[in-house]
Structure 1
Amino acid sequence: MNKKSALLFIFFIIPQTYIYAQQPDTLKGDLGEVVVTGYEGNRSVMETPGAIANVQPARITGFDEGSLLYGLNTIPGVRIEQRAPGSYRVAIRGSSLRSPFGVRNVKIYWNDIPFTEPSGSTPLNLLDVINMQEVEVIKGPAGSIYGAGNGGVLLLESRQSSENEVGAGTMFGSYGLQRYTAFAQSQFEDGNFRFNYSNQQSDGYRDQSFFNRETAELSGQFQLNDKQIIKTSFLYSDLYYGIPGPLTEEQFEQDPTKARQGNPFALGSVEANASIDQQAFLAGISHDAQISENISNLTTIYGTFSSFENPFNLDYKKDSRKSGGGRTRFYFDTDIGEVRTRFTVGGELQSANYAARNFENDSSEVGALNFDDEIQIRSSLVFLNTEIDLPNEIYFTAGLSYNRLEYNLNRLVTNLPDDNTGLAEKTFDPEIIPRVALLKKFSPALSLHGSMSYGFSPPTIEEFRTNEGSIALDLEAEQGVNYEVGARGTLIGPRITYDITTFFFKLDETIVQQPSDRNSTVIFENTGSTDQYGLEAALNWAILRNNSAFLQQLDWGVSYTFHDFEFKDYQKEGEDYSGNKLTGVAPHILVSTLNAKTQGGFYGSLAYNFTDEIPLNDANTVYSEAYHLVQTKVGFQQQILDNFSLDIFAGIDNLLDEKYSLGNDLNAFGGRYYQPAAPRNWFGGVKLNFDL
């Protein structure tokens, strides 16, 4: 047995789980106490029919506080990739791994505000971890409440407790990592507010992988009277990061630190200064009103403004973006006989206007204009949801939504051959999205649930209007139906919790990329269908709780994802790929974590991630290698004075020094599949908190 295998064997046979240094001594994780907001239920997860997970702050920041990857990748069925330090790709049940453009196919809300743009793409990289103190994950189509998105929904919340305190922190690490954070929160008679600030920068492991982001957030809550609450959220984000680009297998093996090199058809990433430079401001306000004893309303309105600049290997893109909209829902709670019932009716409206220009990239400078477009996007949905608490602790949910999406593009100028100016309009067929779910709670320690839901994902604006200039008027929405059953509960009191779900998802009209005749870019088209079978399981075991012993807390947690996804009917460029494995999806992923806390304030964490080999092209002729990723963190936390606390920590990422790609380019032109991740690297920092 070699050294690496011995370490993994020891790690597997030791019981382990997620326990966090800031947790109180009482047990957390009792599913009966976890309240989720998904599907507008605001009820215990043990009474919520659906695959849903609540991610507490300590899990999100359990390792490297500068990244979302470590916390969210512990959730079975969820995979976050990072092709560059600022470039996330989020997939729930493999939903968007085939997308070349960041986060799509997943609907995201931040502080009740629709953070996903009307086109379906989400600039998740504008948010820092400090802006996401709690995350709720809904897996599978949730269009009956939230609209487009076959993958699922992320509900992000930045607000914490309403205590009076201030804090600051700093972190340093490999490859020039520097991170500075500060916050202040205050409670007053009729409300509270919180200010969050972050500044993170690094040089990056690879050439052209620099990263610099600064965020400032101000959130508040104000009690107008006994029946009305106002919540406000303001966010400014200034993001600038490099895009090193993918490598071929030979380049990946020879020198993974290099950026993509140039050729006669495209500039190299360094020469082009391939990067994203984006500044954005978001403002939102929510009004929560108890209209009568049985009727309440929650309404949110928001607006965003951003400038977007993207020099790339093939062109230079500059956008000015404005969007806004709102979401409202009315709740009617009543008893029909002895049956508790809640009706929810609401709607969501989003509108966006882009001034989008694509230029030649003249060695990192703006070159000749290729085309200039004005784009208007309108999306809307209305929904109705019913929750019925039947006798014998049976919970029934049924929902329905009506969805519309429209693109209007006015090409003002074009210098492309065979291209014309003028209007191009695309109104997608209205989508009616149903969901039915049932849960039976057998005891406080066991509940079984099942559901059937329909979903759809229209093409994003980047797929409708490509960088090479074509407009895909024939492109239609992906459509799918999902069936799932699951069980969740506890064993040995609340010490062991488990959540297991199996599902079958059938996707039609899959959007795939095809090579373009223009400057080596890609276009998109609908083709074929996929069959997706899966099992997702999570288990947490609070092994030890003893405040009088040296080792006060020890817990074990493991999550396992099995995805058997394949093309059912898929022809491409004269080839038949039916029966092939779905590109970009690992069949097996296992994540296990061990955390402990001792007397005196010392704590430690150890995490292991196994990701199976991944098919990188539709023909299944190229696979990434499976990898074993180990991360560790130790720290010391102590109350220095009555109102002053100190937290010192250090950690190592990729402890085994694995050579792997975290964020592959699928069906890549020229065989450039690989986005190398950093080898063994370290970080360390300190946090200070002061109670006012």
Structure 2
Amino acid sequence: MFKHLLFFSAIFLISYSALAQVGSDSSYVRTETLDEITIIGYDTEQKLLETPIAVSVLPSQEIRAYDETSLVPAMNTLPGVRMEQRSPGSYRIAIRGSALRAPFGVRNVKVYWNDIPFTAPSGSTDLNLLDISNFGSVEVIKGPAGSIYGAGTGGVVNIRSLPRQQNGTIAEVGATWGSFGLQRYTASIKQFNEQNRWAVRYAHQQAEGYRNQTAMNRDVLELRGEFDVSDQHTVSTSFLYSDLFYEIPGGLDSAQFAENPRQARQANRFAPGSEEANTRTEHEYVLIGLTNEYRWGDNLKNQTTIYGNFSAFENSFNTNYERDGRQGGGGRTRFYYDHSFGSVEARYVVGAEFQSAMNVVRTFENNMGVAGALRFDDELRSEQAIFFAKADFALPNDFFVTTGLSHNRLNYDIYRLVDNDLDSSYQANVSYDPVWVPHIGISKQITNLITARGSVSLGFSPPTIEEVRTSEGTINRELQPERGVNYELGLRGLVFNNKLQFDVAAFYFQLSETIVQRQSEEITVLFSNAGSTDQAGFELAATWFAIQAPQQTISSLEVQTAYTHHNFAFNEYQKEGEDFSGNDLTGVAPNVWVTTLRLQTRPGFYANLTYNFTDEIPLNDANTVFADAYHLVQGRLGYRKELNSGWQLELFTGADNLLNQKYSLGNDINAFGRRYYQPAATRNYYAGLKIGKR
């Protein structure tokens, strides 16, 4: 590892030499820096430089610096964030190790899309329903953010689908082709002016996949609009339709991984293999949302969002077949009041969020990919309510203080209409005591461009309904919410004539009643509380704006790096007569280093190169099996050209896993039969084009 660190340190020194030659000409091109980015997801509308919380931002150009088929590479450039892809269409996100309880999907991380709660009230998020075209920018709040977002100890992901853009109308079509049957086609039209901003986007993506039983097919249509009714009144609308199909290959043991990583999970005496059972997911989804913002003068405003969603879900798994009809809805409202007294500026926020969902879930035997005999027929109702208040104070001597408090309620009603194992029906109610979640953060501006910060946050994360009602029908009423306290210090700033920006953070998170997972003989994932964990970490993000010279041949060169060190361990943990106290936290890499070089030229050629080192990862609670460390290199080359009459052309090509590493991007931790590995693709390529008209 250290030779790679030395190599990239040398790159930074070279960049600094180039920096010294550039000078301070204010006309040089650059991306937004810490003193220019405004954070809107924490209800402060404050510059990132001054924000007293741990937050990272992905702008549009960084999201699209890769093959645009997946958000994974871009998200993994953020310190403290690990996004996994177990197969095309199957994603997980861990913020500071929060994937411990997520065998699949996104849990313990709250996701908002255009201010709409995209996470279900049960706590799970189907992020795979979104195409990368639905991401205009991303803000990631790391650690507990319950004072305004409610339950969850991992963090919050805020997604905006409309990026910042100059006025005008742009129509664009694009196509990408690549290895393993990749095909991607997109079309969009966007219009931006002073009163209205709207976009219509369509994306189709399909692939055969690297492994057997990994084909995927997804169609996504989005309509998004923001309309200024008057100087005081803005209305925003969101519509999303997604039709997703993907196959599920299943995990492999170490011998199978070494022999043939492309094979799907094989049959055993407990369950058929993935190909034999035709394991797959089909999910059709509709989301409709409306946001109304009204301002009474300069000091008072309200922003209210209401939404509804409907979906049909089918999942053919090795041991069962599930059909799920889902409908949900809710809203989020906030009142903002800005006030000044003396030299103190204050903002007060009072709000509430309510979500409700109804799932009709029928579980059948899996008859070789077809629904067999009915096993369970359940109605699952989830309700979550959050009431929160927040106050921000800009104090003399460049101090900024933010305080927050929320009250959280969660209730699950499980109506078992049919239980063929017991030949009976019954009702189970699972609710959790209301919890008050406080937060306090302080920042101090040391210089105009350097700020120190500190915060203390309480975290609270109840079990999801998938953890309470597992796939084989067990209802676990004994599972308790996770609770913890996070202490954090950080420093942000710009130095060397504003050409180097940095963001460092050190934190210590004490978590009790930690929820962990294990697999039974029938591949059913079960959950239990595991005492407590100690999670200490250090995170660094830095960017050199090495060259910013639009009149020169090389007009822009940036070197961006992110380093994550997580020293996470079980403090007290006994399971089935074994003591795992003191062991490393399962599924968490202790060290991750990601460095990206971005080059742009005046003629229109550009290049992006990313190196990702991920340390070995413990795959079971006993720490007897580890996934090997890997070195991942990805690159993209392209050419952009402004043609006559407003036409724009972009040609691009790229490659993933250039070092042809054999690795697993999304391990099954504590897997029965030691089937821990979900092999990622070997070296693969893509190429494409975009044509637009302004």
Instruction: Name the aligned partner's letter for residue 46 of structure 2.
Output: R
- Who is 2:544 aligned against? 541
1:402 corresponds to which of 403, 407, 427: 407
> 1:235-250 residue pairs with structure 2 within 5 A?
235-250=240-255
- Who is 2:682 aligned against? 679
**Is residue 14 of structure 1 aligned with residue 14 of structure 2?**
no
Deviation per residue, 1:560-603 (Å, 9 max, x gap): 00000000000011000000000000000000011111231111
- Who is 1:647 aligned against? 650
- Who is 1:571 aligned against? 574
Instruction: Name the aligned partner's letter for residue 184 of structure 1.
Output: I
Mapped contact 2:611–2:634 kept (Cα < 8 A):
yes
Query: Shift in Å at residue 186 of structure 1?
Result: 2.3
Query: Shift in Å at residue 292 of structure 1?
Result: 3.8
1:506 corresponds to which of 499, 504, 510: 510
Query: Shift in Å at residue 46 of structure 1?
Result: 1.5
Mapped contact 1:332–1:342 kept (Cα < 8 A):
yes
**Is residue 335 of structure 1 aligned with residue 324 of structure 2?**
no
- Who is 1:364 aligned against? 369
- Who is 2:274 aligned against? 269
Name structure 1 gaps, 5 residues minimum: 18-23
Query: Shift in Å at residue 442 of structure 1?
Result: 1.4
Distance 1:93 1:441 in 2: 26
1:145 corresponds to which of 134, 141, 148: 148
**Is residue 447 of structure 1 aligned with residue 447 of structure 2?**
no
Distance 1:268 1:523 in 2: 21
- Who is 1:20 aligned against? none
- Who is 2:196 aligned against? 191
Deviation per residue, 1:92-128 (Å, 9 max, x gap): 0011244213100000000000000000000000000
- Who is 2:175 aligned against? 170
Identity %: 49
- Who is 1:37 aligned against? 40
Query: Shift in Å at residue 183 of structure 1?
Result: 0.6
- Who is 1:550 aligned against? 553
Deviation per residue, 1:479-510 (Å, 9 max, x gap): 11100000000012221000000000011111
Query: Shift in Å at residue 11 of structure 1?
Result: 6.0
Instruction: Name the aligned partner's letter for residue 393 of structure 1.
Output: D
- Who is 1:21 aligned against? none
TM-score normalised to structure 1 length = 0.96
Name structure 2 gaps, 5 residues minimum: 16-26
Query: Shift in Å at residue 408 of structure 1?
Result: 0.2
Distance 1:664 1:138 in 2: 24
> 1:203-602 residue pairs with structure 2 within 5 A?
203-416=208-421, 418=422, 420-516=424-520, 519-602=522-605
Q: Secondary structure at the match of 1:40?
A: coil
Distance 1:534 1:362 in 2: 47
- Superposed CA RMSD: 1.7
> 1:37-56 residue pairs with structure 2 within 5 A?
37-56=40-59
Distance 2:239 2:56 in 1: 27
Instruction: Name the aligned partner's letter for residue 276 of structure 2.
Output: E
Distance 1:254 1:187 in 2: 54
Distance 1:515 1:475 in 2: 16
> 1:620-631 residue pairs with structure 2 within 5 A?
620-631=623-634
Mapped contact 1:89–1:97 kept (Cα < 8 A):
no
Mapped contact 2:30–2:556 kept (Cα < 8 A):
no
Mapped contact 2:336–2:350 kept (Cα < 8 A):
yes
Q: Secondary structure at the match of 2:275?
A: helix
Mapped contact 2:440–2:456 kept (Cα < 8 A):
yes
Instruction: Name the aligned partner's letter for residue 376 of structure 2.
Output: F
Mapped contact 1:27–1:495 kept (Cα < 8 A):
no
1:419–1:585 CA distance, 2 compared to 1 (3 A): farther
Distance 1:69 1:574 in 2: 38
Distance 1:241 1:406 in 2: 31
1:520–1:645 CA distance, 2 compared to 1 (3 A): closer
Distance 1:403 1:55 in 2: 29
- Who is 2:24 aligned against? none
Choose 218-227 or 618-627, whichever is displaced more: 218-227
Query: Shift in Å at residue 478 of structure 1?
Result: 0.8
1:608 corresponds to which of 591, 607, 611: 611
Paired residues, number: 680
Mapped contact 2:184–2:203 kept (Cα < 8 A):
yes
Q: Secondary structure at the match of 2:183?
A: strand
Instruction: Name the aligned partner's letter for residue 265 of structure 2.
Output: R
Query: Shift in Å at residue 280 of structure 1?
Result: 0.2
Distance 2:99 2:418 in 1: 32
Choose 448-457 or 222-231, whichever is displaced more: 222-231
Deviation per residue, 1:245-271 (Å, 9 max, x gap): 100000000000000011121111111
- Who is 1:119 aligned against? 122
Distance 1:504 1:668 in 2: 29
Query: Shift in Å at residue 30 of structure 1?
Result: 2.5
Query: Shift in Å at residue 192 of structure 1?
Result: 2.8
Query: Shift in Å at residue 189 of structure 1?
Result: 7.1
Mapped contact 1:29–1:497 kept (Cα < 8 A):
no
> 1:66-145 residue pairs with structure 2 within 5 A?
66-145=69-148
Distance 1:186 1:533 in 2: 46
TM-score normalised to structure 2 length = 0.96
Mapped contact 1:98–1:584 kept (Cα < 8 A):
no
